[in-house]
A and B are shown apart, each in its own frame.
Chain A
Amino acid sequence: MHDEMPGFFPGRPGGEHDEPLLDMILERRPIPPGASPEFHGLARMLAAVAGPAEPGDLAGQDAAQAAFARLASRPGTSHAALRSARRSLSERPARGRLPLAAALAVAAAGLGSTAAAFVGVLPSPIQHFAHDTIGAPPPPHGVSARPLTVASSPMPRHPRPSDTGSRRPAVSPDPVSDKTHRGPLSVHGRKAHGAVPGHASCIPALGQDDGGAAGDAQNSVWPSPAPNQVKPGATQSPTPSGPSQNRASAESLPWPLPSAMKGCPAGTTPYQETHASGR
């Protein structure tokens, strides 16, 4: 095609053969020394145009920078910052929101435990702790710390031997087995400690716990059994505060007692009540 064009003068401007050379000039690459002087002059001219700034090119730069700094420091720009922060928060991956969910769960658990502490239906060790820390009512006198066997919140705090001060170890003294506790409705050692088969929501009444000494004091956490459910060997609470307190606790609950309270066999009591009060 190029060879067929008449008037073709290699190395002179105007021919299509100079396209690679013109591309080199456009891209500001050094052109071959053998190129036409016009191309050399053109390359130098364009290099001057694309060269560094002259004094007149940056006139007013200081004033512009100062104006930009004032604009950026205006309080009105906080809206944009807020929008940006909001967007970045919403675009944060799920793992970034995990601490928030954990905090909400802990707060909910703490709220439920606090309510239970003021109602006075927590196990003695925890009631002691609540009494010392948040000013909840103290546990009844003469009531020893019954081992904690029912989880009252999604994130229960299991008593340690040092916390309970109990004369006997907890039902689940093995810390390893404590770690296996999960979920708000799990009962430590339910099967091993007399959970009623077929009545998963019923737990042994006072004095029915295996190994539980008859003289082991009643804990206000356990709902008082009906009079006909109290075995002769079982010891009533030395103070009437136990049953009455439990009734008051149940009456003061802002939610109805679960229907599972009914129908438990003799010698057992629905653990849902205890759980509900700790909710």
Chain B
Amino acid sequence: MQPALLRYLRVITAEPEDVAGETWIQVVTGLRRFRGGEQDFRAWLFAIARNRAADAGRSRHRRPVVPLDMTEAAQHPTTADAADQALEAVSTQAAMELIKSLPREQAEIIMLRVVAGLDAGDVAKIVGKTPGAVRVAAHRGLRRLAGQVAQAGVTL
């Protein structure tokens, strides 16, 4: 799960490696209290990671967590360079950059759904929203990504 965790943290924090380490330490210390299956462990792991990322952001005052709504996100269009780079290489890093260009909430929800493999209910618990709101945000983020693909004129 470390690759998925690291990719998720790369989207939501500026110090993904440090936050990943803190996350695993907390997992180890709290593992005895954990009850559940693999899916529950995934949700627990990424919830810890999100909290640790928020702590890191608050402590360093670098990247305060400010959710952006769709209106604000529309005012910050993705650069063509990022889309082109991602679609040309179709590499993980380029795709990550493309997702990071999304509004933070959408990017985070897409990462939790796709990379972490969580369903809408688990993601809703992590981000503190309803499953319906999570679904809407994920759809909007995917449409935005698809629009960037269409803007780049790439056909696969």
B150 is an interface residue with CB less than 8 A from chain A: yes
For window 91-142 of B, CB contacts with A under 8 Å fall at 91-93, 95-96, 98-99, 110-111, 113-115, 117, 135, 138-139, 142
A84-B114 in contact given A38-B146, A54-B92 (Cβ < 8 Å): no
Q: How far is the CA of A25 from the CA of B24 in the complex (A)?
A: 29
Contact digits for B64-101, partner A, Cβ 8 Å, 1 yes 0 no? 00000000000000000000001100111101101100
Nearest 6 A/B pairs, CB to CB: A53-B3, A13-B146, A57-B3, A37-B155, A38-B146, A41-B149
Q: How far is the CA of A50 from the CA of B136 in the complex (A)?
A: 21
Give the number of residues in B that approach A within 8 Å (Cβ atoms).
39
B3→A45 contact, CB < 8 A = no
For window 107-149 of A, CB contacts with B under 8 Å fall at none
- Picked from B21, B86, B138, the residue with its CB within 8 Å of the CB of A45 is B86
For B119, the closest partner residue in chain A by CB is: A27
- Give the distance to chain B from A1, nearest Cβ to Cβ, in Å: 15
Q: A48 to chain B: which residues have CB within 8 Å?
A: 90-92, 95
A50→B115 contact, CB < 8 A = yes
- Picked from B32, B98, B99, B145, the residue with its CB within 8 Å of the CB of A84 is B32
B14 is an interface residue with CB less than 8 A from chain A: no
12 contacts between A and B (CB under 8 A): A13-B147, A41-B149, A41-B156, A42-B149, A45-B86, A45-B87, A45-B98, A49-B95, A50-B117, A57-B2, A58-B2, A84-B32
- A-side interface size class: 35 or more
Q: How far is the CA of A79 from the CA of B135 in the complex (A)?
A: 45
Interface window among A14-22, A161-169, A171-179, A268-276 = A14-22
A49→B96 contact, CB < 8 A = yes
Q: B96 to chain A: which residues have CB within 8 Å?
A: 49
For A18, the closest partner residue in chain B by CB is: B143
Q: B91 to chain A: which residues have CB within 8 Å?
A: 48
Among A38, A54, A58, the most chain B Cβ lie within 10 Å of the Cβ of A38
A245 is an interface residue with CB less than 8 A from chain B: no
A98 is an interface residue with CB less than 8 A from chain B: no
- Give the distance to chain A from B53, nearest Cβ to Cβ, in Å: 17
Q: B86 to chain A: which residues have CB within 8 Å?
A: 45
- Give the distance to chain A from B20, nearest Cβ to Cβ, in Å: 9
B139→A38 contact, CB < 8 A = no
Among A25, A40, A80, the most chain B Cβ lie within 10 Å of the Cβ of A25
For window 4-47 of B, CB contacts with A under 8 Å fall at 4, 6-7, 17, 21, 24, 28, 32
A36 is an interface residue with CB less than 8 A from chain B: yes
B6→A26 contact, CB < 8 A = no
A26→B156 contact, CB < 8 A = no
A26→B138 contact, CB < 8 A = yes
Q: B156 to chain A: which residues have CB within 8 Å?
A: 37, 40-41, 44
A49-B115 in contact given A42-B142, A57-B7 (Cβ < 8 Å): yes
For A43, the closest partner residue in chain B by CB is: B156
- Give the distance to chain B from A277, nearest Cβ to Cβ, in Å: 53
B95→A45 contact, CB < 8 A = yes
Q: A28 to chain B: which residues have CB within 8 Å?
A: 114
- Picked from A19, A42, A46, A53, the residue with its CB within 8 Å of the CB of B2 is A53
